[in-house]
Structures are given as C-alpha cells and as structure tokens.
C-alpha cells in the first residue's frame, strides 16, 4: 500500500468548481523575460456534457444540481447547465423551481462527482502525451506550456490545438474549447471566444487588438466585479483602455506591487508558469448546502452546521491553512437568498472542528431558534473563512491542545484511506434528510 495514501487529502470533495487563485501571483511567474506560448483547454459544460454522453441526452436541455420530488416539483439549485438549457435562459445559481418554470421539460441530474474525477484523470493522461508541462487548474480546465511551438507557422500551432481536441473527442467522446496565446491569462480569455468547440489563437499584437482588446476588464482572470467597479471610475472599461492608460491607475487603486501585477495580467505581460505539482491555495474555504425542503427541526440544522464545519476544516487541514475569523449564513425559507449572516472568531488560528464549533454554534442556534419561533423555517446553511493564513507558529495566547490535534490527524488518515465518512461526529447523522446536488450525499 502506498504510504502517502493516508495523507492524500481529497481537496476537490463536494466542490462544484475549483477556481482557487485569483490571479497570477508573483511567485508563480518565471524570472526570465523569455517569450512563451500557452494553451488553455476548457471542457464545455463538463458535468452536463458527461451526463449527456452517459445517458444519451444529446440535444436535450440538462441542468446539473436539481431534482424533482415525487409530485414533479423541482428542487435544488442549478450548478451548471448544458448549452441547450442555457439557450433557453437557464443560468447557474438559479433555483431549480425557477428553471423548471422556464423549461418544463428540463432534465435534472445530480452531480456524480466520482464519475467526473475519473474522466478528468483520463483527460490529464491525454494532455500529458502532448506536453511534459501540464497544469490541472480545475477538474475541467487545464493549462499547457507549448513554448516548443514558439515561432512555428500559425497553421502548425493551430493544427496542434486541433489534434488535442480530436484526441479528446475520439477517446472520451467529449468536446472542448481551446485558446492559444503568448500570455497564460490571455490563453484563458482566448478559449472563451468561440464556445462551444472553439479554437482561438492570439499569436500577434494584431490578434490581440482584434479579439481581446474589446473585452471588458471583468472578464479577465482575477479582476472580478468589485475591482471592475473601481476601474470604471477611472474610465477603464476594456483591455484596450488598460493598455492605453499604462499601469498608473492600477497602482493607485490596488497598490504599487499588486497594481503593477494586475496591469501586467490584464495586458498580457505576465510571465506566468504552468504549475505542474503546486497546490492552488484558495483565498477562502467555504461550504454551502441548500436543503431539499425547509425544516423546523433545530437538531437537524445543528447537524448540518457540524457537517459544514467538518467539510471546511478538513479542506483547510489539507491546504495546511488555519483561520481565526469566520462567517456563517443561515438561509430562510424565502424564495430569494435571504437569511441571517454573522461573523465569529475562534480563540486563535485553527483548523480543528472543535474550536470552530464552540465559537459558531451558540450564535447559529440562537439565530435558528429565533427564526423558528417567528414561524420562519430554515432552508440552508453556509460557512466560510474570512481571515486565513499559513501558520504553524505558536501563538502567545492560544494553542491547540495536542490531543485534539492528534485526534483529527488520525481521523483524517482513516478517512483519506477508507472513505470520507469512516470516522465522523455523531451529530452529522442528525442532518436534514433529502437530496443534495451530489449523488453520493443524497
């Protein structure tokens, strides 16, 4: 038996989509100024596409994450949807009920995570045969360093991208979009230009001007809605605006070093490495569960909070991260994402369930009890870190008890080897019964 198997944390467990670092960090860049060539591959609607293949659902609108009750009422939240469903107006994070009102014949499928992980491993094996430097960015997204094609004729580079697409289709029966560019960030943008099944190349400055410069800045990896709002106040709406303005406005908004890095990323001037064996560490770790139906049972809600803390802390231990500031959300029965959110602190930086539960449960159960007394039922719970650091240093006023730390280390070893629920708290079994997004948790 592989001795490392016991320490092999499943950091993708119950995570819909893994997009873990917000932009190209300075430590992820090459020191040299050598020009490089990148390929980004994006499996189109991966979950839905796999289910269409598995159950011969081609041409039908498929929504992942929902299910129907025996009376036909749709429940759950749409995690992703096929292009046929998207064309009808079905969107990610839409309630399954709302989606079923738009399309009564919508096919709901729960997420079969083990199936997708297996196919993702096959996909990685295919890509490894094309280049020795491949990064698994998420289960359905990969970066490949193809600098060995730098300077080759355009038709040869494009043929390389087509050969990857054909190999994946012939071996797995799946389609994908490919972007090739001289910037890692821009290769990711390029793969979005012609979805589904597209192939786009950004090999010259003219290619960039024609295809990427018109794109709004919030489409760039790492910018996001909030940073985009700040940039708009400086009149920076598109990549072309950023190129024209220079790095000055970015430095004023985000600081000297971070602003320069953002500007380089946006304008295709980063020197990013394709990360083969490095773990992508998230800025925060979170968990959200919307119940199949609302509940009035406070004990069951408490079990769900215990489960959420368990999921978050397990992943943090896998990332070797700890937190001391946290957020919790109790979702009410209303159709919208309404509820009560609060923050709480642990005595110090920790990733052990016991300390988080002791800090979280009193306020969480006060909120739940108060809502139930007012006739408001509970529909879901969420938990996330706010302040997370990599720290093994002893704190002056707090340290985790050795016996508690050793207990969780032993439990993780058993769960990593024999399955995630081999050792668990009894309170988890008091959770809200019903379906979830995931087949393995229903």
Specify the pLDDT at position 271. 86
Specify the pLDDT at position 425. 77
**What DSSP state is assigned to residue 40?**
E
pLDDT tens-digit map of 104-152: 999 999 888 889 989 999 999 999 999 999 998 888 999 999 999 999 9
Q: Which of 161, 94, 159 is nearest to 336 (CA)?
A: 94
- Alpha-carbon distance of 137 to 44, in angstroms, equals 15
Confidence of residue 100 (pLDDT cuts 50, 70, 90): very high
Specify the pLDDT at position 429. 66
Q: C-alpha angle with apex 422: 416 to 424, nearest 5 degrees?
A: 105
Q: Kindly tell me if the per-residue pLDDT of 24 is higher than 70.
A: no
Specify the pLDDT at position 17. 43
- Alpha carbon 138 to chain centroid, angstroms: 7
Nearest 5°: phi and psi at 195?
-80, 150
Strands 107-109 and 62-68: parallel
Which of these is catalytic: 141, 264, 304, 430? Answer: 141
pLDDT tens-digit map of 400-424: 888 988 888 888 888 888 877 788 7
Q: Do domains 43-139+147-176 and 286-437 have the same CATH topology?
A: no
- Alpha-carbon distance of 24 to 260, in angstroms, equals 12
Strands (DSSP E) along 280-403, which ranges?
286-295, 322-332, 339-350, 378-389
The SS3 of residue 421 is coil
Confidence of residue 4 (pLDDT cuts 50, 70, 90): very low
Domain boundaries, the chain: 43-139+147-176, 286-437
Other residues' Cβ atoms within 10 Å of the Cβ of residue 129: 10
Asked if CATH classification 3.40.1170.60 holds for the domain at 43-139+147-176, the reply, yes or no, is: yes
Confidence of residue 284 (pLDDT cuts 50, 70, 90): confident
Q: Taking the alpha carbons of 14, 1, 126, 57 in that order, is the dihedral positive or negative?
A: negative
Q: Kindly tell me if the per-residue pLDDT of 301 is higher than 90.
A: yes
125 classed as catalytic: no
Confidence of residue 440 (pLDDT cuts 50, 70, 90): low
Strands 141-145 and 38-43: antiparallel
pLDDT tens-digit map of 363-411: 999 999 999 999 999 988 999 999 888 766 556 677 888 898 888 888 8
Residue range 286-437, CATH number: 3.30.1490.100
Strands (DSSP E) along 333-413, which ranges?
339-350, 378-389
Specify the pLDDT at position 20. 41
């Amino acid at each position: 038996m592989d001795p490392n198997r016991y320490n092999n944390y499943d950091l993708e467990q119950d995570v819909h989509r893994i997009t873990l670092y917000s932009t190209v960090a300075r430590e992820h860049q090459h020191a040299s100024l050598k020009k490089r060539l990148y390929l980004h591959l994006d499996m189109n609607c991966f979950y839905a596409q796999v289910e269409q293949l598995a159950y011969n659902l081609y041409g039908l609108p498929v929504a992942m994450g929902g299910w129907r009750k025996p009376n036909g009422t749709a429940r759950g939240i749409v995690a992703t949807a096929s292009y046929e469903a998207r064309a009808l107006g079905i969107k990610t994070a839409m309630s399954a009920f709302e989606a079923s009102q738009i399309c009564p014949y919508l096919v709901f499928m729960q997420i079969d995570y083990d199936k997708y992980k297996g196919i993702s491993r096959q996909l990685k094996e295919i890509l490894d045969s094309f280049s020795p430097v491949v990064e698994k960015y998420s289960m359905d997204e990969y970066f490949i360093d193809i600098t060995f094609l730098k300077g080759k004729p355009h038709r040869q580079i494009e043929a390389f991208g087509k050969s990857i697409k054909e190999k994946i289709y012939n071996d797995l029966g799946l389609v994908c979009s490919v972007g090739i560019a001289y910037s890692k960030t821009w290769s990711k943008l390029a793969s979005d230009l012609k979805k589904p099944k597209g192939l786009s190349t950004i090999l010259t400055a003219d290619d960039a001007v024609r295809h990427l410069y018109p794109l709004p800045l919030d489409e760039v990896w790492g910018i996001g809605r909030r940073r985009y709002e700040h940039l708009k106040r400086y009149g920076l709406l598109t990549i072309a605006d950023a190129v024209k303005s220079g790095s000055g406005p970015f430095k004023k908004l985000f600081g000297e070093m971070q602003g320069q890095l953002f500007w380089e990323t946006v304008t295709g001037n980063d020197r990013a490495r394709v990360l083969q064996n490095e773990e992508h560490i998230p800025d925060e770790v979170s968990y959200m569960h919307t119940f199949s139906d609302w509940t009035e049972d406070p004990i069951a809600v408490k079990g769900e909070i215990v489960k959420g803390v368990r999921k978050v802390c397990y992943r943090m231990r896998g990332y070797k991260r700890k937190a001391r500031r946290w957020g919790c959300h109790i979702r009410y029965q209303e159709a919208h994402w309404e509820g009560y959110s609060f923050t709480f602190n642990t005595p110090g930086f920790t990733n052990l369930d016991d300390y988080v539960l002791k800090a979280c449960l009193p306020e969480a159960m006060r909120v739940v009890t108060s809502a139930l007394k007012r006739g408001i039922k509970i529909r879901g719970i969420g938990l996330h870190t706010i302040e997370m650091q990599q720290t093994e240093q002893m704190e002056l006023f707090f340290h985790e008890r050795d016996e508690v730390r050793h207990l969780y280390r032993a439990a993780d070893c058993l769960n990593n080897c024999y399955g995630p629920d081999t050792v668990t708290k009894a309170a988890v079994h008091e959770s809200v019964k019903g379906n979830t997004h995931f087949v393995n948790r229903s």
